[in-house]
Amino acid sequence: MKTWLILLCGLVLWAVHFFVAYFIGEFIGETQGPRIAVLGLTLLCLAGVAALGVLLRSMRPEDDHDRWRRSAALGTLAISFVAIFWQGFPALFVP
Amino acid sequence: MSPEAPIPASTASWLPVILDSAGPFSQPVTTLAWVIFTGGFVILGIVIAALTIALFGSPRLKARLGGEKAIWIGGFAFPVVVLTILLIWGLWLTSHLSAQRITGDEMRVRVIGEMWWWRVHYLDENGRETFRDANELHIPVGQPVLLDLQAADVIHSFWVPRLAGKMDMIPGRTNRLLIQADAPGVYHGQCAEYCGGPHALMGFVVVAHAPEDFARWQAARAPAPAAQGSAARGADLFMSSGCAACHTIRGSPADGLAGPDLTHVGSRRSLGAGILPNNKGTLAGWIADSQALKPGNRMPAYHQFDGEELRALADYLASRQ
Amino acid sequence: MTSETGFDPALYARLPVEGPRPEGEEEKLCRAWSAPKGWQHLTEVNNQYIGIYYVGTAFLFFILAGILALLMRVQLAAPLLDVLPQDTYNQVFTMHGTVMMFLFAVPAVEAVAVLLLPQMLGARDLPFPRLSAYAFWAYAIGGLCFFASLFVGLAPDGGWFMYPPLTSKAFSPGINVDFWLLGIGFIEISAIAGAIEIIVGVMRTRAPGMSLDKMPIFAWALLVFAVMIIIAFPAVILSTLLLEAERALNWPIFDVGRGGDPVLWQHLFWFFGHPEVYIIFLPAAGMMSMIIPTVARTELVGYRMIVLAMLATGFLSFGVWAHHMFTTGMPPMTTGFFSAASMAVSVPAGIQVFSWIATYATGKPRFNAPGLFTMGAVIVFVTGGLTGVMVALVPFDWQVHDTYFIVAHLHYVLIGGMVFPLFAAFYYWIPMSSAWPLSERLAKWVFTLMFAGINIAFMPMHFAGLMGMPRRVYTYLPEHGWALPNLISTIGAFMFAAGVLLFVIDLARNFRPRPGGGSAGNVYGAGTLEWLPSDLYGSRSIPVVASREPLWDDPALAQNAERGGYFLPGSVTGYRESLVTSPIRAEPQYLQVLPGRTASPFAAALFTAGFFLALTVQAYTFSIASAILALMALLRWLWETDRHVPLDNVDIGGGIMVPANVTGPMSHGWWATITLLIVIGMIFSMALFGNAFLWSNQPAFWSQPPAILPAFPVLGLNLAAVALSLGARWILRRQRQGWASAALIGATALATGALVLEHSLWRAAGFDPEMSAQAALAYTLQALQMFILVVAVLMSFNIWARVLRGLVTAPTNTSVDVAALFIAYCGAQGFVGSLFPRLLGVS
């Protein structure tokens, strides 16, 4: 379980961000309030990814497997960071 | 013939229609398209070059490609930079072209997709219907036109590539689309969402007039005068043979609603929803056996008419200007 | 070294065991894994047989759907041709897409998984051999019958994504659409069965020592693939159920006149449909990542990056479904989310492509058949990927959506991302299960024709699309100027077909299937376990894995495994056996006794297919008879499972002892149950989404749902069912088998009572399923609940019968665990299903 949490934490955060943002757009609307909510959520999730990155870097791997797990997890965090960052853009472009 | 000035036939450009935009709602997309095509070719070239080096290159060049650093640069950093720029451009353009940017100065038309033709209702500024037509949309150049897009049966999609991107027509919804033509001309459109049967033959035309021509065209939307001669015989046949049960011709007893409004059918550029040129020959041919021309369409073939009757009907319809 | 299960990794040093093996050991192993004869080929469950059948059937569908493509290309070669009449063409393009996606692409990958995965992981077989046999037979029988609908003119004609209302009863009154809905729904069940098998297989049957970081990349790909299937496919199962309910029962879920919404179908379909593309691509990318290192004679560069790319793809691909819906009038911010996610999902694809290039660059690539196809795949896939980024841009998509530009894009992606890798895989792995390898000389021709063919066929389609040609047109008018690109496309399609034909000729000349290991051997010099010398039981003994390419790193490994120096060199019990290991570090946990040949999977598949097909053609008597027979076969199958092995601890080699009976969260049965519950939970969640979607999109038709307060007994009964069901495990721990089975039956009864009450509350509130989509969806939730409760009834009475026959062990028992989990889930679903629709009030 711990291994999966480490490997997937960033992506899980992306999924939370994506679906909450989508549900805001789908079920609440696209007026100013929801847009600000999406931006706030984006900043929160980006901070979350950054915090996870710091946490992972501070872990001391004991063997090859743990080292591998940590470096792969840092990679998924990088991708998640970019994906969440992009996910915030649409809230900035108001017709 | 029709009162308006002659319209240039569809401009013979060597460019594919999507890259040959004719209005402000398609022009920015064309620019975007040129940029991404160029960029796409360059990137494809880079990847093929990298693959070639990986397969045939000198050991020194190969060594540069053969590590995780190269993967991070080529597979992560480079795409992230390029895609960030593209995403911002795409999002800006989406909001820029969105029909939510209406100003209220637009001309308004409701277009309803039917299996396999288009109902066209011209609206006044308050959204009230002024008059009806089918399979052809007349607009003034230089003015944005706001389309209310609806569907009567299944999902269709309204698309005039040179004027704007497409927008689906979905039962129960009204989608809005802005189009505008900057030069007089005839612009082809076609249903873009598969709608069964002869979906392939569900086309239409948009005719853009210079403003003064458009005003003349609009003024001429009164029903044509009663038919004379052979056309009068055609009118009788039209009323007595069942045609009137499905088609409306304003100013006559025909008030059917199932098929296209034929009040001005004689002035249209095409028949059968954009698939045939409009003349007496094609009119007669369509009546006699539309199923051969557009299999599956909702109009039965009228084999019972003889040649003379078909001529009379064609005369009558051609006189409905 | 850290341990996951308490197993001491130092014990691995005892292996391989030196010295001769005991007399008769190998004979006993061979007896357990004997080859089938005659009719036994239908009842065999060994993955090496099922795998070959499976791959062959998938390839057959590739050929059949390819022939349909050629027919279409002939029709479109020039304007206004009349080769295929309109209605035939509409059936043919629908079948081409449907067969390629549902009957070729996904099954082909599962087929390769069934054939290769156990050998690659060092297992003897997949953990549920009967389930893979069932999945295969259901797919083969159902698929062939489905395809045959084309010959009687009853094939579906609504396009492979079947948008209502075109596919509703009003506009498609014939049974064509029903063929699609029931046929595809049924084949999806087979795909899900395969996915459960693969997940448990990858997680629990790896060779000892094969920790996650040493797993072959193909296994990683299959793991992500299978998890994606169990998340995505429920959406299409639910949507087919809903549309069939609308067609057969007049439940107006997609009917705007009664508060339904056709856009709901699009959301549900694409929530499945887009991940589907990555579901197809990922395993093929996994094959590429296996083949390229061998071709380049070096280890894979960026293994961990490929793994993280696959994990990222698995997630991100669930955020892109609505990019098929940019033209439905979605508001700009929402389209933006999907546009952004569509961009993001291309990043991991780029990482994989550059990893492959880096691997070529590091090694000394050979230009043999698999090599050529992988190289071609990179170029074709990148081309499709670039146009994919283009269509992720919303304004550009507004122009090219539903045109031939999209047709070109998706064929580049799927041929480059799946077909070329699969052909590389055919060349690469056929020596493993054939007497002879395929011809390298002919392969150059096959590759050249296919590579030139795809580019000549599909490159002009980009231009046809830009010229305004919509997709799914049976003909076109000459004045549009689309004739030239179409003619070129047709020529290219025939070149591609010629390449495939040459390949088939090569197969006929050189492919001689040899389950148990082809004598052609390791012709490309690969380093992974599937190239160990093998027989019907896989490798003679299961080696300890210390690296990603064990055959390269330990030259003596093959010989030591072959002489029985590693784990399980014989059969302890005399039955087929395999080793179950821990999920992260693959430490040996217990000995699993595998089932042998049995007719029940074949019979169950035959009659389930009969049930669905008879239902489609409205032969209700035959349908019910088939359902009963299928049920009997399933019960017979169930009855044979979970038999107690009269051994506690067994020596699996080198004196290392593991148990032979394991229950609870450690057992593979528990894992499979959890996976199944995720599938059911996803179907249910999709139905909840449907409720919320209509509530938000069709407020004019929404009426106040029944009040919450009167539903308290329903909620309470369901909670009691959860508690009682989980209590059955606690009771069993006190050696009361009879009471445990009574608790399970009681829990089922409580949940059933809750459902009856729930139904009567909605009826009493005046809701009728034909009245509105809101009511129809509320009753859909109840119908789903009814369906799982029927299963719960069968399960709880099965436990009771097993108790009577003394088959239920105490203090713990896997069958009881499984039933308790399932019934507890039923209670939980009943609780949520009753609460949720009541929360969606009129605002």
Q: Quote the pLDDT of residue B76.
A: 95
CA distance C83 to C498: 21
Which residue ranges in chain B fall short of pLDDT 50? Answer: 1-5, 11
Q: Distance, in angstroms, between C372 CA and closest chain B CA?
A: 11
DSSP annotation of C645: P
Q: Quote the pLDDT of residue C522.
A: 86
Residues in B 54-83 with any Cβ partner in A closer than 8 A: 76, 80, 83
Encoded tokens for B192:
């873009």
CA distance C421 to C188: 23
Q: Quote the pLDDT of residue B7.
A: 56
Encoded tokens for A37:
């909510």
- Is residue C587 included in any domain, yes or no? no
User: Measuring CA to CA, which residue among C188, C39, C201, C195 is closest to residue C111?
Assistant: C195
CB C407, CB C100: distance < 8 Å = no
Could you tell me if C211 lies within 8 Å of chain A, comparing CB atoms? yes
Beta partners for C594? C576
Domain of C463 in residue numbering reads as: 43-510
Is the pLDDT reported for residue A16 higher than 90? yes
- Is residue C622 included in any domain, yes or no? no
Could you tell me if B46 lies within 8 Å of chain A, comparing CB atoms? no
Could you tell me if A80 lies within 8 Å of chain C, comparing CB atoms? yes
Cβ separation A66–C2 shorter than 8 A: yes
Residue C527: φ, ψ to 5°? -115, 5
- Is residue C772 included in any domain, yes or no? yes
End-to-end C-alpha distance for chain A, whole angstroms = 45
CB B148, CB B110: distance < 8 Å = yes
Cβ separation B194–C261 shorter than 8 A: no
Q: Strand B117-123 relative to strand B129-134: parallel, antiparallel, unpaired?
A: antiparallel
User: Measuring CA to CA, which residue among C729, C744, C713, C705 is closest to residue C840?
Assistant: C705
User: What is the Cα B286 distance to its own chain's centre?
Assistant: 22
Instruction: Give how many domains chain C has, as a whole number.
Output: 2
B-C CB pairs within 8 A amount to 254
DSSP per-residue codes, B56-111: H--HHHHHHHSSHHHHHIIIIIHHHHHHHHHHHHHHHHHHHH-GGG--S-SEEEEE
- Is residue C702 included in any domain, yes or no? yes
- Is residue C799 included in any domain, yes or no? yes
What count of other Cβ atoms lies within 10 Å of the Cβ of residue B212?
Answer: 11
pLDDT per 10-residue tile (average), chain C, 843 residues = 83 90 90 91 93 96 98 97 95 96 95 95 94 94 93 92 95 93 87 95 96 96 97 95 95 95 96 94 96 95 95 96 94 94 96 96 95 97 97 96 97 97 96 90 97 98 96 94 96 98 96 79 89 90 94 92 92 92 94 92 93 89 94 90 82 90 89 96 97 94 94 97 96 94 97 98 96 96 97 95 91 93 97 96 83
Token pair 């819906």 in the structure block, residue? C325
Encoded tokens for C269:
């379909």
Beta partners for B206? B137, B187
Cβ separation B100–A92 shorter than 8 A: no
- Is residue C147 included in any domain, yes or no? yes
Chains that touch C (3 or more CB pairs under 8 A): A, B
3 state SS of B58 = coil
- Is residue C539 included in any domain, yes or no? no
Could you tell me if B101 lies within 8 Å of chain A, comparing CB atoms? yes
Could you tell me if C386 lies within 8 Å of chain B, comparing CB atoms? yes
Could you tell me if B95 lies within 8 Å of chain A, comparing CB atoms? yes
What count of other Cβ atoms lies within 10 Å of the Cβ of residue B315?
Answer: 22
Q: Quote the pLDDT of residue B6.
A: 53
B76, B83, B92 ranked by CB distance to A93: nearest: B92
Cβ separation C357–B54 shorter than 8 A: yes
Q: Strand B136-140 relative to strand B203-209: parallel, antiparallel, unpaired?
A: parallel
Last residue of a domain, one of C492, C510, C528: C510
Q: Distance, in angstroms, between A87 CA and closest chain C CA?
A: 6
Could you tell me if A83 lies within 8 Å of chain C, comparing CB atoms? yes
Beta partners for C403? C470
Q: Strand B156-158 relative to strand B167-169: parallel, antiparallel, unpaired?
A: antiparallel
Cβ separation C327–B86 shorter than 8 A: no
| pLDDT band at residue A43 using 50, 70 and 90 as cut-offs | very high
Contacts of A94 in chain B (CB under 8 A): 95
The CATH number of residue C159's host domain is 1.20.210.10
Residues in C 472-491 with any Cβ partner in B closer than 8 A: 472-477, 480
What count of other Cβ atoms lies within 10 Å of the Cβ of residue C174?
Answer: 12
Q: Where are the domains of chain A?
A: 2-92
What burial class does residue C806 get, using C-beta atoms within 10 Å of its C-beta: 0-12 exposed, 13-18 middle, 19+ buried?
Answer: exposed
CA distance C128 to C29: 19
Q: What is the ipTM of this complex?
A: 0.97
H or E element, residue C265? helix C262-296
Residue of C nearest to B157 (CA): C327
Q: How many CA within 13 A on the CB side of residue B55?
A: 18
CB B157, CB B193: distance < 8 Å = yes
- Is residue C617 included in any domain, yes or no? no
Chain C interface, best mutation among B34, B91, B269, by max C CB count within 10 A: B91
CB B151, CB B112: distance < 8 Å = yes
Cβ separation C328–B168 shorter than 8 A: yes
Could you tell me if C389 lies within 8 Å of chain B, comparing CB atoms? yes
Q: Quote the pLDDT of residue C1.
A: 55
CA distance C431 to C438: 8
